[in-house]
Amino acid sequence: FAYSLYYSVMNLAALIAGPMVDLIRAVLGEGCTIFGYHFSSMRLILLTSAMTTALCLFVVFAGIREIAVDEEGAVHLFHPNRENPLQSTFDVLKERDFWRLVLFTLLLMGVGLIFRHVDATLPKYMLR
């Protein structure tokens, strides 16, 4: 539930962000003065983003708790794994599935680099 809620809010924010930036730039084109400091419209957008991030960080630290839910649906306090982090890292490095994920990620990075190269060079080539 929490991930789907987070993902929905993130998509809603992405939908609203573009029009809000345009609105702030249209209304406050030259910026404004706050507490004796002049802020351009772009700096106001960055300031708003920083304040919103700080608010979200506060909500996370104040409202999130670690829980575990058993098969019957009962909620219990979650006790994290207290293993040695180095041993856990070695255990992950021994897994075959981890290396398959690394290979897949590297292949996707190569495809992304090719598309980025085409995106950067094709417009210049077409203008010749």
pLDDT, tens digit, 9 for 90 and up, residues 24-44: 888 888 888 888 888 888 888
Q: What are phi and psi of 80, to 5 degrees?
A: -70, 160
What local confidence, expressed as pLDDT, does residue 126 receive? 61
Q: Report pTM.
A: 0.48
Residue 66: Cβ within 10 Å count: 8
Mean pLDDT estimate for the chain: 86
Confidence of residue 94 (pLDDT cuts 50, 70, 90): very high
Local structure of residue 71 (DSSP, 8 states): T
State whether residue 77 is helix, strand or coil. strand
What local confidence, expressed as pLDDT, does residue 124 receive? 67
- Give the residues across from 69 on adjacent strands: 75
The answer to whether the beta carbons of residues 99 and 106 sit under 8 Å apart is no
